[in-house]
């Protein structure tokens, strides 16, 4: 199969020669162009977590135009929408739980640095630098295709769309969506996440943990300050903070199995105002990441104990705020197999590659604490491009042919799921 991309008049890169299975639900050309335009508009108008009012309204309007009845979440942003008949308990009419497709809709508080892009962010210090605009467009497109199949009587089972706010805000907007009934009657859930290391036209899959746990740590250290000429009469908070920075990660690393990958990493340290004054206050911020879910459950006790030990050694009073974030995304084997079968049906065996566990966090994990599911890494790198535009960077962008790939992956997954779970 040729991996070279070619440009079409819309500016999207098309991957020619990709095999398409006999399943219905491929993306019509007119809708494909509309989805590219939708993604670019969303990219130009990024909104932070729990502030996605324009984005929510745009999704809602397009779903309603297709004859669907989306429901905005109680928090005021994000929405859910069922395609097909779902009973009062949330499940399909026959009582079998439905498949859910999930997207996240929020942006990041960083500037968009793509100075040559026609669809660069128009909002200062806001950017879709993690691909949520692509995720949203994929689920929207899949919903529109599945709605048309339902209208034709060709959708065997209902499907739920979940457009979730605030993924970038710990502990994640997934909790609000779940509390508002997004998972009621759901038996399986699937999602994609953009991966700039994977070529457009391919997805990365992994059974088991595909992301890591991520928590946030805030520490305040206090003690009597004084003159740098007499440190023995003070609590030397600069030294105490420095020892917390260096010693705590080392202690933590020796109190769990090293294969758990429990790591403390600092992002901020502040203390003092003058070179000859030992300060009375110091602050540190960082993250706690973990590859293993059981070690993650023990992490708060382990990390807090290590901080207290080091602080006490230097006679500093410590105040620790440990903010629980998200557990690892643990892909269910059967649902991972469903995504693999769906991609093979659309693009052939070469459309799937293995992927490593990432140290990034994703609140999709909260759904998987309730129901089995899986997340695929959606390739967004233009084939042949050597520069990797990494996530959470201001110049991040995606090859928009990935939208077609994601839509057809999800529609195939919905149809295959219906076939495997039919009575």
What average pLDDT does this structure show over 350-362?
95
What average pLDDT does this structure show over 114-128?
96
Judged against a pLDDT cut of 80, whether residue 15 lies above it is answered with no
Please report the pLDDT score of residue 93 as a whole number. Answer: 64
In this prediction, residue 10 has a pLDDT band, given cuts at 50, 70 and 90, of: very low
257-295 pLDDT, tens digit per residue, is: 999 999 999 999 999 999 999 999 999 999 999 999 899
Please report the pLDDT score of residue 85 as a whole number. Answer: 75
Token digits of residue 302: 């382990």
Distances from the Cα of 374 to the Cα of 72, 157, 187, 410, angstroms: 24, 19, 12, 12
403-414 burial code (b ≥16 CB/10 A, e <16): bbbbbbbbbbbb
φ, ψ of residue 74 to 5 degrees: the values are: -65, -25
In this prediction, residue 117 has a pLDDT band, given cuts at 50, 70 and 90, of: very high
Please report the pLDDT score of residue 95 as a whole number. Answer: 72
CA 233 to CA 229: how far, in whole Å?
10
Q: What is the residue-averaged pLDDT of the chain?
A: 92
* Residue among 55, 72, 57 at smallest CA distance from 107: 55
Token digits of residue 69: 């009845």
Three-state secondary structure readout of the chain:
CCCCCEECCCCCEECCCCCCCCCCCCCCHHHHHHHHHHHHHHHHCCCCCCCCHHHHHHHHHHHHHCCCCCEECCCCCCEEEEECCECCCCCECCCCCEEEEEEECCCECCCCCCCCCCCCCCCCCCECCCCHHHHHHHHHHHHHHHHHHHHCCCCCCCEEEEEECCCCCCCCCHHHHHHCCCCCCEEEEEEEEEEEEEECCCEEECCEECCCEEEEEEEEEECCCEECCCHHHCCCHHHHHHHHHHHHHHHHHCCCCHHHCCEEEEEEEEECCCCCEECCEEEEEEEEEECCHHHHHHHHHHHHHHHHHHHHHCCCEEEEEEEEEECCCEECHHHHHHHHHHHHHHHCHHHEEECCCCCCCCCHHHHHCCCCEEEEEEEEECCCCCCCCCCCCCCCCCCCHHHHHHHHHHHHHHHHHHHHCCC
- The residue written with tokens 């135009």 in the block is 65
- The residue written with tokens 């490593």 in the block is 356
Please report the pLDDT score of residue 110 as a whole number. Answer: 97
123-150 pLDDT, tens digit per residue, is: 999 999 999 999 999 999 999 999 999 9
Please report the pLDDT score of residue 420 as a whole number. Answer: 82
188-218 pLDDT, tens digit per residue, is: 999 999 999 999 999 999 999 999 999 999 9
Token digits of residue 360: 């990034």
Please report the pLDDT score of residue 16 as a whole number. Answer: 40
Please report the pLDDT score of residue 419 as a whole number. Answer: 87
Judged against a pLDDT cut of 50, whether residue 39 lies above it is answered with yes
57-105 pLDDT, tens digit per residue, is: 999 999 999 999 999 999 999 999 999 977 655 666 677 799 999 999 9
φ, ψ of residue 386 to 5 degrees: the values are: -90, -25
The residue count for the chain? 423
Torsion of CA 301, 305, 311, 317, to 10 degrees: 60
In this prediction, residue 7 has a pLDDT band, given cuts at 50, 70 and 90, of: very low
Q: Which residues pair with 395 in a beta bridge?
A: none
In this prediction, residue 6 has a pLDDT band, given cuts at 50, 70 and 90, of: very low
In this prediction, residue 183 has a pLDDT band, given cuts at 50, 70 and 90, of: very high
Determine how β-strand 186-199 pairs with β-strand 373-381.
Answer: parallel
221-254 pLDDT, tens digit per residue, is: 999 999 999 999 999 999 999 999 999 999 999 9
pTM (predicted TM-score):
0.88
């Amino acid at each position: 199969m040729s991996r070279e991309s070619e440009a079409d008049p819309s500016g999207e890169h098309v991957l020619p020669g990709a095999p398409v299975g006999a399943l219905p639900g491929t993306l019509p050309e007119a809708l494909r162009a509309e989805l590219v335009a939708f993604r670019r508009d969303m990219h130009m108008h990024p909104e932070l977590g729990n502030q996605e009012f324009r984005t929510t309204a745009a999704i809602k309007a397009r779903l309603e135009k297709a004859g669907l009845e989306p429901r905005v979440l109680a928090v005021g942003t994000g929405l859910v929408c069922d395609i097909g008949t779902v009973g009062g308990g949330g499940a399909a009419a026959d009582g079998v739980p439905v498949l859910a497709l999930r997207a996240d809709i929020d942006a990041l508080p960083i500037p968009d640095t793509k100075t040559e892009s026609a669809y660069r962010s128009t909002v200062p210090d806001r950017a879709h630098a993690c691909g949520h605009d692509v995720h949203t467009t994929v689920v929207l497109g899949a919903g529109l295709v599945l709605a048309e199949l339902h209208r034709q009587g060709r959708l065997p089972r209902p499907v739920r769309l979940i457009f979730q706010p605030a993924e970038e805000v710990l502990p994640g907007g997934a909790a609000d969506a779940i509390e508002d009934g997004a998972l009621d009657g759901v038996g399986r859930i699937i999602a994609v996440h953009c991966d700039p290391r994977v070529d457009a036209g391919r997805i990365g899959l992994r059974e088991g943990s595909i992301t890591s746990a991520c928590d946030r740590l805030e520490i305040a250290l206090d003690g009597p300050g004084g003159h740098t000429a007499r440190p023995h009469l003070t609590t030397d908070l600069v030294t105490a903070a420095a020892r917390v920075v260096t010693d705590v990660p080392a202690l933590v690393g020796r109190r769990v199995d090293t294969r758990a990958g429990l790591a403390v990493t600092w992002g901020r340290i502040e203390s003092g105002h003058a070179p000859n004054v030992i300060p009375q206050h110091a602050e540190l911020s960082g993250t706690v990441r973990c590859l293993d879910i059981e070690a993650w459950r023990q992490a708060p006790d382990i990390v807090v104990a290590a901080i207290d030990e080091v602080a006490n050694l230097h006679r500093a009073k410590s105040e620790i705020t440990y903010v629980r974030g998200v557990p690892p995304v643990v892909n269910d084997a059967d649902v991972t197999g469903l995504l693999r079968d769906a991609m093979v049906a659309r693009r052939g065996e070469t459309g799937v590659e293995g992927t490593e566990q990432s140290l990034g966090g994703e609140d999709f994990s909260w759904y998987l604490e309730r129901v089995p599911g899986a997340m695929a890494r959606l390739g967004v790198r233009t084939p042949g491009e050597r520069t990797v535009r990494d996530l959470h960077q201001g110049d991040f962008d995606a090859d928009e042919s990935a939208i077609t790939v994601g839509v057809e992956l999800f529609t195939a997954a919905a149809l295959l799921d219906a076939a495997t779970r039919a009575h």
